Amino acid sequence: MENRTIRTCFVIGPIGAPGTESRKAADFLLNGIVRPAIEDFMGLRIWRADEDTLPGMITDKLINDLHDSDLVIADLSELNANAFYELGIRHATEKPTIHMAAVGTKLPFDNMGHRAIFFDKSEWPSIEQARQSLRNQCEEAFSASFKASNPVTQALSVKAFRASPRSEEKTLGDLMERVQSVEVQLSRINRIELPIAPSRDFSAMERERKLATAIKTLSEAKDYIHLGLTRVQIKTFSNKNCDEVNFQLVMSNLKSGEIASVLNAVAEEIPF
């Protein structure tokens, strides 16, 4: 019999006492979106803190779960203080974390730049979109090229570069701060204009994901890493070119070796 390691997914967020609206909302997210979307699809063991029946100190187990789990999904819907405390612990591990929140949630400044999946449990298209987005983010999180990026990792990177005695690294640190500022502004604009798009074509979402993955992988190759493409630039370019015609054109250019021209086009999406 094949001995296969099962990856783990820990879900954090407001839970509430049984029968409360908080508990009903938490149960819906867990059993109506998260489990149907990725449990079988990604072969994950998924649980929440109140489902953990093993003996031991609750706080110790919680911190261990936050540290050891292959993936953490954070429900930020009610801006719960405990949820953000737990999220901060998880961010410090530099492991995959996915943010989710109910439509209308006003995320704090420090979390604006982090991609979040918004959902409306009263709208079926929104639920389907949230499930698909969750699958896409899980695939990205478990890919070989994934590298965690969150307020903790970004702040430490900026600090390290700005403390460097090398002038070019100090400059890079300044540029990274500017990129973070742009990401925050774009995140705020996107939430105001497009908090959710129930009618979006899932095939277009898939093309956008594939295009972004290809560009991200190529941009990290030694011949092109000097371009310093950001996640925002790649996402913006992929979103603009996810229609069937442009997708096929860009992918054809990449496959035919015109990589530099495509990556230069990506670099022009957000000029500095």
Single pTM value for the model: 0.58
Of 73-77, 109-113, 205-209, least confident by mean pLDDT is: 109-113
Q: Could you report the per-residue pLDDT of 125-157, keeping only the tens digit for each?
A: 999 999 999 999 999 999 988 887 766 656 655
**pLDDT class for 205, splitting at 50, 70, 90?**
confident
101: helix, coil or strand?
A: strand
**pLDDT class for 244, splitting at 50, 70, 90?**
confident
What is the per-residue pLDDT for 246? 86
What is the per-residue pLDDT for 192? 44
Cβ-count burial 92-126 (b if 16+ within 10 Å, e if not): ebebbbbbbbbbebebeebbbbbbbbbbbbeeeeb
Query: Given a cut of 60, is residue 259 above it in pLDDT?
Result: yes
Q: Could you report the per-residue pLDDT of 5-21, keeping only the tens digit for each?
A: 789 999 999 998 999 99
Task: Answer with the residue of higher pLDDT: 74 or 4.
Answer: 74
- When pLDDT is averaged across residues 227-246 and rounded to a whole number, the result is 87
Which helix or strand (DSSP H or E) is residue 8 part of?
A: strand 7-12
Q: Are the C-beta atoms of residues 145 and 216 closer than 8 Å to each other?
A: yes
DSSP H helical segments within the chain, as ranges?
A: 21-28, 58-68, 81-92, 124-141, 151-162, 167-193, 202-219, 231-240, 244-255, 259-267
- When pLDDT is averaged across residues 68-77 and rounded to a whole number, the result is 95
Percent of the chain past pLDDT 90, that is, above it, reads 34
- Tokens 């994901």 belong to 209
Query: Given a cut of 80, is residue 59 above it in pLDDT?
Result: no
Q: Which residues contact 205 (CB under 8 A, 6 or more apart)?
A: 129, 132, 133, 136, 242
What string of DSSP letters covers 102-148?
A: ETT----GGGTTS-EEEE-TT-HHHHHHHHHHHHHHHHHHTSTT---
Average pLDDT, the chain: 80
Distance CA 71, CA 67 (A): 10
What is the per-residue pLDDT for 175? 47
Task: For each of the domains in the chain, give its residue range(s) and CATH number, in order of start.
Answer: 7-141 (3.40.50.450), 201-272 (no CATH)
Could you tell me which of 170, 100, 167 has the C-alpha nearest to residue 137? 100
100: helix, coil or strand?
A: strand
Distance CA 28, CA 38 (A): 15
**pLDDT class for 173, splitting at 50, 70, 90?**
very low
- When pLDDT is averaged across residues 218-244 and rounded to a whole number, the result is 86
What is the per-residue pLDDT for 106? 86
Q: Are the C-beta atoms of residues 33 and 119 closer than 8 Å to each other?
A: yes
